[in-house]
Amino acid sequence: MTRTSKRRSARQRSLEEVLAERLRSRAVEDAKFRARQAQGKLRRFVTATFRKEEVIEKLALRRGECNRCGACCEILFKCPFLKKQTDGTTSCGIYEDRPNQCRLFPMEQRDLAEVRGTCSFYFIEKPVKLEKAS
């Protein structure tokens, strides 16, 4: 093998190694993201079902309105009741009977991380105290 072809093959190898490393780290990031989603689903189910007081406290910090993007209905997997509309919005096929954790999403700041920033709700740090008008 000539020196030029050795250099070329070394370059090729290092390029392949870089690509393999990128794929590996993307797979690790995806796995971490999905693990966070799974944890979040369970956390929201438990909170919405058994911790009503906590829900009230959390929702006091929530602001904004739903833009009907449907991202929360695709956490971990796409819900079979999710319907996509022609205008790009979504709706729920069992809206009146949807589970509490669906009605209440998002309950806290960390829930937003599971929908990669597409949710239009946001959270404030502390509840705002309303002063009496004089």
Which residues bind to ligand SF4, rule: CB under 6 A?
66-73, 79, 81-82, 92, 94, 98, 102, 105, 115, 118-121
| Cα dihedral across residues 116, 119, 120, 125: positive or negative | negative
Q: Which of 80, 131 has the CB closer to ligand SF4?
A: 80
Q: Which of 15, 42 has the CB closer to ligand SF4?
A: 42
Tell me the sheet residues that pair with 83. Answer: 91
Q: Which of 54, 100 has the CB closer to ligand SF4?
A: 100
- Rounded to a whole number of angstroms, the minimum distance from the CB of residue 125 to ligand SF4 is 20
- Rounded to a whole number of angstroms, the minimum distance from the CB of residue 122 to ligand SF4 is 10
CA distances from 126 to 60, 76, 116 (A): 9, 30, 24
- Rounded to a whole number of angstroms, the minimum distance from the CB of residue 25 to ligand SF4 is 27
Q: DSSP labels for 72-115?
A: GGGSSS--TTEEE-TTS-EEETTGGG--HHHHT---SHHHHGGG
